[in-house]
Structure 1
Amino acid sequence: MIDLSTHIFTPQEMNAVDAASVASGIPFFDLMERAGQAVAASALRLYPQARRFVALCGPGNNGGDGYVAARALCEAGAVVAVLEMAGDTALKGDARRAALACPLQPSPLSEYRPEAGDVIIDALFGAGLSRILSGDVQQLIAAINDAGLPVIAVDLPSGICGLRGKVLGSALQATRTITFMAMKLGHLLMPGRTFCGEIEVFDIGIPHRTLAAHVGNIRKNHPSLWASRLPALAGETHKYKRGHLVVFSGSASHTGAARLAATAGSKCGAGLVTVASPQDAVAVNAGALTAVMVRQVETQAELTNWLDTAKISACVLGPGFGVGERARDFVSVLTEKPLVLDADGITSFRDEPKLLFDAFAGGETKLVLTPHEGEFARLFPDIAADENLGKVEKARAAAARSNAVIVYKGADSVIASPDGRAYINSNAPPWLATAGSGDVLAGMIGALLAQGVPAFEAAAAGAYLHGEAALKAEPGMTAEDLAQHANIDLT
């Protein structure tokens, strides 16, 4: 059976599910009836003392759900007002049927004025919205948001693009979002996630086999997707079996980022961690590290010689390393090792991204790129500039181009594989946005690579565990605090 707690659907996939359900003999109006009844039940449970429920009904099937909800609330004895964008003659199919079955006389949407005690049922537009809202609808949304009224959104708050999570002009701020069968991209991608409030997923009777037949390969990042790939300690385990992680340091005045990554890598299970330092940084790093080793690696030749003799399992290059030719030279000799390229390492290829992509083209994916938005645009300027693409689509396109796992960082970090898989991370608390947290993430992913976890699973696990570490460190944490909590703990 499909795990609906992690599967994420695009609007197009859900449209295909609806069509397949109807083709299998399930009347679409039955699905609409169950959806509207679920909204009404949630509204009565959450706001039993509401002075009035106000159903805002749009011109499509989302509006049909709203008419059903209004009828159910009325039948339950609540005071209900219905405001519509289109008269019943303009409605089509099951939405029109739902409107005609509603005993309440609707008023034009333009007549609504927010009143104290109102609870809004937002059934204007669902997850399929892709165009900018009209000016009059935006004005209404502003009035409701300004009034601070409770809003129950049907499927997705009106004004949010279900595919990209973007605000299409303006969006209703929901207190609760009621969606059906499974979550959609707009529920997880920013800024859409912030407009949803609490999200409830209701089963309205679509067979799981129908959902499984049309779901893609986008998931909500969760341990159930990768926990089986994590290393398990055994009695015969020794440090080299747990992997040797190398983190490359910058010059003497830029060593902190590498030490953060190295500390996190050690906490996250790497058996041995070495900070490879230029000559002027060796003493600085050695004086600040204990369990982590330090080795002088100044030139490309020194790195090449070391690689020939050392048991190195994975590398992290970029945090505090410095931008330029030396970074590119080091990367050119690390192509046979699993590599996390972050920060300065990414920026070093902004003028020659193809040089990086060609170096890791073909074969097993060993490269993990961890860009924030600005760094992403430096490596993939055309993809970043395409406003028609959402974050998941951009990350997938970048992964395919570079033959790398992309961790497109942010509050809604997207982890994408060249094979098209994409996970959306949603457990990162706001206080994770602090200087140095990206260095910790790079070290955590590097440690998992060093322990033999495949690149995509290492990146997904690292992103999730990074969020869990921040939750344990609690508000007010520093990156140093975060690194100390970077252990693998799924309890």
Structure 2
Amino acid sequence: MIRAHTVEQVRAAEADLLARLPEGALMQRAAAGLGYAVLDLLGTAYGRRVLLLVGSGDNGGDALYAGALLARRGVQVEAWLLSDAAHRGGVDALRAAGGRAVPWSSIGQRQHAQPPNPRGLVPNRNIFDVVVDGIVGIGGRAGLRPEATNALELLAGIPVVAVDTPSGVDVDTGETDGPHVTADLTVTFGTHKPCHLLDPAAQACGAIHLVDIGLDLPQAQVEALQAADVAALLPRPAPDAHKYTRGVVGVRAGSAAYPGAAVLSVSGAACGLAGMVRYDGDPAALDQVRAAHPEVVGPGRVQAWVVGSGSDTGAEDAVRRSLADGVPLVIDADAIAFAGTTRGRPVVLTPHAGELARLLDVERAEVEARMLEHARLAAHRFDAVVLLKGRHTVVARPDGRARVTTTGTPWLATAGAGDVLGGLVGALLAAGLDPFDAASAGSWLHGAAATRAAQDGLIVASDVAAALPAVLGTLVGR
């Protein structure tokens, strides 16, 4: 499990540890981890050139001490001090190790004095192999000051290693209001932070390298399941199991206009996790469902319903009839508009950003910019688990706890993929998982199946469904 802790939680844990360590020891731990991560990225030390962009906080101190470590190993290190309040001990350590520390004021003046370059380039761009972003620490606000944005413009195209988090992103929410660093590698300390998982900030982090500095941390409110976590959640048949004890999932999806949605929803449900799948949707889709899945049976008692994918004008009736059974529901697509009727029931809502925007009466861009905030808002308002689909899907509970899905591939952005996901989550519900576990495990499996299917070429939604049994097979043996 990846656990992402807030700034407040990290600060409290650091304060507790600092009280038990010699002065400066915690920064030295972080700096050593950062320095060796940069060395690993460089591949070799001698002849390499590294630039540090240094702000006023401890984040800049981490960068400076890491720069001193690099300089002692033969790297040519220069620091641009973007603040007059740069960490004095770190500056002294860098200079003592043979590195250079230059005030930004002199860099800016030097650049303005440069004659125009016919290609529009500045000399700095090809001098450095790596830029280390030590501009703003985790306590900083979103956005960057002009001197930082100007420095980054001069260095565009050079690989960037961010210290703890990319400067300029909102650490706790993953929002990116204003200019920010886009890193190739982020070296973080003690724990992941929400911005490492949550889009859009996660897209600015690049690869994540976690350095253990000995923090004792509380329960995180944002998590990301890993393969072992999903394997532990998956239901397994008891020795005396039969199809009914393994769970029966019902599907009310599809319509005359969208019969394929019924097939895809059933395909997700019929992945093998539940003992039986019943189809009780639009008769116009029945023949296609039977042709694709001869094992699927007709109406009857179920342990969970999957409702709404491609239901068109029949969505409201499907929700009403499914609620009458008193079992957990997955509500997708057209049925999401009727989420207000499901409060107090065990429900998973599975909107994409546009659907959630309509449900909350906000702009889609607002949802995409603040996914965690809007997923939590909807979960609280509708008293349901909300699975907000995206590059990094967010699953939120009414109490604010959230999980982020990091499996998947851009090729998963294909019509009908959400229908498969709804059926899969429904199968997990029918097999006995609670809505939060079913939604987060289902989202992880969906992304993993898409990644597996994409290894053989471009994919469509039915390829994702077809890859599910193989992905599940690798996990149930763990």
Given the two structures, how large is their TM-score scaled by the length of structure 2?
Answer: 0.86
Task: Report whether the alignment pairs 1:316 with 2:291.
Answer: no
Amino acid at match of 2:273: G
**1:479 is matched with which residue?**
461
Shift of 1:464: 0.9
Shift of 1:484: 1.2
**Counterpart pick for 1:360 among 323, 339, 343:** 343
2:322 alignment partner, SS class: coil
Amino acid at match of 1:123: G
Structure 1 contact 318–345 (Cα < 8 Å) conserved = yes
Structure 1 contact 156–162 (Cα < 8 Å) conserved = yes
Structure 1 contact 245–313 (Cα < 8 Å) conserved = yes
Shift of 1:204: 2.2
Amino acid at match of 2:452: K
**2:121 is matched with which residue?**
none
Shift of 1:382: 5.7
Provide the rounded CA distance (Å) in 2 between the counterparts of 1:256 and 1:263.
10
Provide the rounded CA distance (Å) in 2 between the counterparts of 1:266 and 1:96.
63
**2:274 is matched with which residue?**
270
2:155 alignment partner, SS class: helix
1:80 alignment partner, SS class: strand
Deviation >6 Å, runs of 4+: 383-389
Q: How many residues align?
A: 448
- Deviations, residues 333-352 of structure 1 (Å, cap 9, x unaligned): 32311110001111x33xxx
**Counterpart pick for 1:446 among 420, 423, 426:** 426
Shift of 1:265: 0.7
- Deviations, residues 71-106 of structure 1 (Å, cap 9, x unaligned): 22222232111111112xx34xxx333234432552
**2:408 is matched with which residue?**
428
Task: Report whether the alignment pairs 1:178 with 2:161.
Answer: no
Shift of 1:25: 2.5
Structure 1 contact 268–444 (Cα < 8 Å) conserved = no
Task: Report whether the alignment pairs 1:43 with 2:34.
Answer: no
Task: After superposing the two structures, state which structure 1 stretch, 389-398 or 36-45, moved more.
Answer: 389-398
- Compared with structure 1, are the counterparts of its residues 73 and 229 closer, same or farther at alpha carbon in structure 2 (3 Å cutoff)? closer
1:205 alignment partner, SS class: coil
- Compared with structure 1, are the counterparts of its residues 281 and 262 closer, same or farther at alpha carbon in structure 2 (3 Å cutoff)? closer
Provide the rounded CA distance (Å) in 2 between the counterparts of 1:315 and 1:238.
20
**Counterpart pick for 1:72 among 69, 72, 86:** 69
- Compared with structure 1, are the counterparts of its residues 19 and 389 closer, same or farther at alpha carbon in structure 2 (3 Å cutoff)? farther
1:56 alignment partner, SS class: strand
Task: Report whether the alignment pairs 1:332 with 2:324.
Answer: no
How big is the alpha-carbon RMSD for the aligned residues of Structure 1 and Structure 2? 2.5
1:114 alignment partner, SS class: helix
**2:103 is matched with which residue?**
108
**Counterpart pick for 1:162 among 165, 171, 178:** 171
- Compared with structure 1, are the counterparts of its residues 259 and 70 closer, same or farther at alpha carbon in structure 2 (3 Å cutoff)? same
Task: Please show how residues 226-241 of structure 1 align to structure 2 within 5 Å.
Answer: 227-241=231-245
Shift of 1:387: 8.2
Shift of 1:278: 2.9
Provide the rounded CA distance (Å) in 2 between the counterparts of 1:285 and 1:175.
45
Provide the rounded CA distance (Å) in 1 between the counterparts of 2:21 and 2:303.
54
Shift of 1:157: 1.9
**2:209 is matched with which residue?**
200
Task: Report whether the alignment pairs 1:191 with 2:200.
Answer: yes
Structure 1 contact 119–150 (Cα < 8 Å) conserved = yes
Shift of 1:222: 2.4
Shift of 1:369: 0.4
Amino acid at match of 1:220: A
- Compared with structure 1, are the counterparts of its residues 129 and 384 closer, same or farther at alpha carbon in structure 2 (3 Å cutoff)? farther
- Compared with structure 1, are the counterparts of its residues 85 and 68 closer, same or farther at alpha carbon in structure 2 (3 Å cutoff)? same
Provide the rounded CA distance (Å) in 2 between the counterparts of 1:374 and 1:389.
12
Amino acid at match of 2:34: V
Shift of 1:367: 0.4
Amino acid at match of 2:74: G
Task: Report whether the alignment pairs 1:56 with 2:53.
Answer: yes
**1:20 is matched with which residue?**
16
Amino acid at match of 1:343: A
Structure 2 contact 269–427 (Cα < 8 Å) conserved = yes
Shift of 1:434: 1.1
Amino acid at match of 2:385: V
**1:135 is matched with which residue?**
146
**2:392 is matched with which residue?**
412
- Deviations, residues 425-459 of structure 1 (Å, cap 9, x unaligned): 10112211111111110000001111111111111
- Compared with structure 1, are the counterparts of its residues 442 and 268 closer, same or farther at alpha carbon in structure 2 (3 Å cutoff)? farther
- Deviations, residues 228-265 of structure 1 (Å, cap 9, x unaligned): 44321233221111222111133223110111110121
Task: After superposing the two structures, state which structure 1 stretch, 177-186 or 49-58, moved more.
Answer: 49-58
- Deviations, residues 196-221 of structure 1 (Å, cap 9, x unaligned): 22221112233xxx323xx4332112
- Deviations, residues 14-51 of structure 1 (Å, cap 9, x unaligned): 122222222x3225621112212222222223212553
Shift of 1:294: 4.5
Amino acid at match of 1:483: A
- Compared with structure 1, are the counterparts of its residues 25 and 384 closer, same or farther at alpha carbon in structure 2 (3 Å cutoff)? farther
- Compared with structure 1, are the counterparts of its residues 287 and 201 closer, same or farther at alpha carbon in structure 2 (3 Å cutoff)? closer
- Deviations, residues 143-199 of structure 1 (Å, cap 9, x unaligned): 323xx2122211122232212223343333322221111111111112322322222
- Compared with structure 1, are the counterparts of its residues 360 and 226 closer, same or farther at alpha carbon in structure 2 (3 Å cutoff)? farther
1:14 alignment partner, SS class: helix
2:270 alignment partner, SS class: helix
**Counterpart pick for 1:395 among 365, 372, 375:** 375
**1:298 is matched with which residue?**
none
Amino acid at match of 1:262: V
Provide the rounded CA distance (Å) in 1 between the counterparts of 2:460 and 2:53.
45
- Compared with structure 1, are the counterparts of its residues 81 and 272 closer, same or farther at alpha carbon in structure 2 (3 Å cutoff)? same
Provide the rounded CA distance (Å) in 2 between the counterparts of 1:484 and 1:401.
35
**2:90 is matched with which residue?**
98
Task: Report whether the alignment pairs 1:10 with 2:6.
Answer: yes
**2:217 is matched with which residue?**
211
Shift of 1:385: 8.0
Provide the rounded CA distance (Å) in 2 between the counterparts of 1:184 and 1:169.
19
Provide the rounded CA distance (Å) in 2 between the counterparts of 1:454 and 1:314.
11
Structure 2 contact 333–355 (Cα < 8 Å) conserved = yes
Provide the rounded CA distance (Å) in 2 between the counterparts of 1:384 and 1:419.
24
- Deviations, residues 398-441 of structure 1 (Å, cap 9, x unaligned): 22221211111111111112233211110112211111111110
